[in-house]
Amino acid sequence: MRIVLATRVYPTHRPGGMPHVVQDRAEALAALGHEVHVLTTAHAKYGVLEGDVTVHHLNAKSLEYSEAFARECTETCKRLCPEIIHHDSLDVNRLWWADKPGGARRTAVTLHGFGPGAFLTEWNLFRCGRGPAPKFDAAGMLKEANALKQADRVIGVSECETGYLREWYGLCDSVCVYNPIPGYFFENTTDPPQDGPFLCSAISGHRTRGFDIAEEACKQAGVRLKTVSRVPRREMPKVYDECRAVIIPTFYAQGFDLTVAEALARRRPVIVSNTGSYGVERDRYDWFYSFRLGDVGELERIVRHLADNVPPEPPQEIWGSGLHRPEVHARQWIWAIG
């Protein structure tokens, strides 16, 4: 099939969660023999990626939704005549894909965070004394819900996100397709080192991700904490391999951090706040430890336990069956779109 993936940001602009997901999906679909075109905004400063995916940097302001981006996407689809048009996240003001330009057979949107999750994130910060009381934007959420109804399929990246889509937005046909990570995260894995540090890793948003909570808990537990940011992705397996476990004390009530999947693929336990995806997913994985949001004492106790005890077997849902393997994601994504 000829497939168009539209995204306002791609790794040719900058690294990040959503750009990596689009890239990994695009390359996995191409590996299955599909003709894949990525439509994104004007080039910023990074080099163009190599591979079997055609990346179109359109004549529209870099990294932003705009009238120019919508117009350029429409015209490009008319030329390409794709069978599937897919958008990662959503410009609620410009539903250029809804009329299926180029005669597309199916349209779909994957949400990497949206209204309910954004509100609950602000609520988490407020109830822990880290931010002002959030305002509930009912009109904005209704606009987003009505925009999503124009797609043939709406996809959530976790069971939590899919639940928001079904319950908050009434999109009962929404399905969950987990994010992919590159195959090299599953290769040449090792057991956690007995003397390794605990790890916090993220490209941005350290405040909302609660890195200070991890620092305090590790200090009280008397263990080392390593914090990394903006490490090239190819180098991340080595970073995980050097650590004992990964801590994600996040206040985000939406999405599914790639860090979780990457750490588990490297056979490293993860300790996460009991919120959003992690509150829903915690019983799925053997190496998934959750603690009350912002509770330094409870996090400290889990850190102390893992400093002395590591589960003997890797989580089969991630490592064995390959829930986040790119080829599995690509097949599930095609199935979901129908």
The pLDDT tens digits of the residues spanning 14-45 come to 888 899 999 999 999 999 999 999 999 998 65
pLDDT tens track for 68-83: 999 999 999 999 999 9
Sheet with 225-228, edge to edge strand ranges: 225-228, 198-201, 245-248, 270-273, 288-291
Q: Are 90 and 111 in contact (CB under 8 A)?
A: yes
For residues 115-141, average pLDDT: 95
Same domain (yes/no): 72, 139: yes
* Confidence band, pLDDT 50/70/90 cuts, at residue 309: confident
pLDDT confidence of residue 175: 96
Cβ atoms within 10 Å, residue 182:
21
pLDDT confidence of residue 209: 85
Same domain (yes/no): 190, 46: no
Same domain (yes/no): 31, 173: yes
pLDDT confidence of residue 243: 95
Same domain (yes/no): 15, 33: yes
For residues 120-131, average pLDDT: 94
pLDDT confidence of residue 202: 77
Same domain (yes/no): 114, 136: yes
Same domain (yes/no): 233, 160: no
For residues 53-76, average pLDDT: 96
Q: What is the pTM for the complete model shown?
A: 0.91
Q: Is the model's pLDDT at 224 over the cut of 60? A: yes
pLDDT tens track for 95-109: 999 999 999 999 999
Of all residues in the chain, what percent carry a pLDDT higher than 70?
91
The two structure tokens encoding residue 165: 């889509």
Q: Is the model's pLDDT at 48 over the cut of 70? A: no
Same domain (yes/no): 159, 213: no
Q: Which domain holds residue 255?
A: 184-320
Angle between the 159-167 and 115-127 helix axes, to the nearest 10 degrees?
110
Same domain (yes/no): 15, 103: yes
Number of independent structural domains in the chain:
2
The two structure tokens encoding residue 296: 């330094």
Same domain (yes/no): 116, 222: no
pLDDT confidence of residue 277: 82
pLDDT tens track for 192-204: 898 899 999 876 6
pLDDT confidence of residue 37: 96
Q: Is the model's pLDDT at 124 over the cut of 90? A: yes
pLDDT confidence of residue 73: 98
pLDDT confidence of residue 116: 95
Provide the b/e sequence for 33-70 (b: ≥16 CB within 10 Å): ebbbbbbbbbeeeeeeeeeebebbbbebebeebeeebb
The continuous run of DSSP H or E covering 87 comes out as: strand 84-88
Beta bridge partners of 291: 273
Q: What is the CATH number of the domain that holds 217?
A: 3.40.50.2000
pLDDT tens track for 251-261: 999 888 889 88
The DSSP secondary-structure symbol of 186 reads G
Across all residues in the chain, what is the average pLDDT? 90
Same domain (yes/no): 289, 215: yes
Q: List Cβ neighbours of 55 (8 Å cut-off, separation of 6 or more).
A: 10, 12, 37, 38, 40, 48, 49
pLDDT confidence of residue 320: 45
Same domain (yes/no): 133, 190: no
Same domain (yes/no): 235, 90: no
Burial of 244 by CB count in 10 Å (0-12 exposed, 13-18 middle, 19+ buried)? Answer: buried
